[in-house]
Amino acid sequence: MKKLAVYCGSASPADPRYLALAREVGQTLAERGIGVVYGGGRLGLMGAVAAGALDAGGEVIGIIPEALANSEVANHDCTELFTVSGMHERKARFTDLSDGFVTIPGGVGTMDELWEAISWAQLGYHSNPVGLLNAFGFYDHLIAFNRHMAQVGFIRPAHQGIMIADDDLDRLLDKMAVYEPHTPIFRMKASDL
């Protein structure tokens, strides 16, 4: 894994653990020689991930939509900063530039990015690992809901291992590094669906 897309919030929660976590994620990726591809913002957890990676000498590639770049939230300290037309192009660039995805705490936009990475993996648009860092139990309910969708039958057995979750960053990255791609829907027979 040479580059990972990091999905996270652009907000700064009152609890300081979240910003510290984001900075640690950026720093750890840089120390492992893994470049960061992220939303290109300088605020909230996004900005902390970038700062952690840059301070540790890492590569940081930001991808920001024009509307956000024009509102002065773009992080011009990035190694590279791409301005794109909108969110669809932004997420496609994340996929094109990354060898995997790591989701840390965030809100609605973060959830959109996570579920799209999982959905695109199921379909076969990419075969990269999709990691979920469950720091502070933030994603306990989401992990339980994912398990529930599988138990009910909305996630096929072949795709139940796409989301890789752990509450420890180093363990999560190690699991992602040995991820074996699954059979995507595009390559399944009708009888398998």
Q: Where do runs of H (alpha helix) occur along the chain?
A: 17-31, 44-55, 66-69, 87-97, 108-123, 140-152, 169-177
User: pLDDT by residue for the chain (193 residues), tens digit each?
Assistant: 999 999 999 999 999 999 999 999 999 999 999 999 999 999 999 999 999 999 999 999 999 999 988 877 999 999 999 999 999 999 999 999 999 999 999 999 999 999 999 999 999 999 999 999 999 999 999 999 999 999 999 999 999 999 999 999 999 999 999 999 988 888 877 777 6
Number of domains into which the chain is organized: 1
Nearest partner of 117 among 134, 93, 139, judged by Cα: 93
Please check whether residue 26 lies inside any domain of the structure.
yes
Please check whether residue 183 lies inside any domain of the structure.
no
With beta carbons less than 8 A apart as the criterion, state whether 4 and 36 touch.
yes
Please check whether residue 136 lies inside any domain of the structure.
yes
Q: How far apart are CA 1 and CA 126, in angstroms?
A: 14
Please check whether residue 192 lies inside any domain of the structure.
no
Residue 184 confidence (pLDDT): 87
Please check whether residue 38 lies inside any domain of the structure.
yes
Structural domain boundaries enclosing 89: 3-175
Please check whether residue 96 lies inside any domain of the structure.
yes
Q: Would residue 48 be called left, alpha or beta, if left means φ above 0 and alpha means ψ between -120 and 50 degrees?
A: alpha
Q: What is the CATH number of the domain that holds 65?
A: 3.40.50.450
Please check whether residue 133 lies inside any domain of the structure.
yes
Please check whether residue 191 lies inside any domain of the structure.
no
pTM above 0.85, yes or no: yes
Q: Letter for the amino acid at 87?
A: M
With beta carbons less than 8 A apart as the criterion, state whether 128 and 121 touch.
yes
Q: How far apart are CA 63 and CA 174, in angstroms?
A: 26
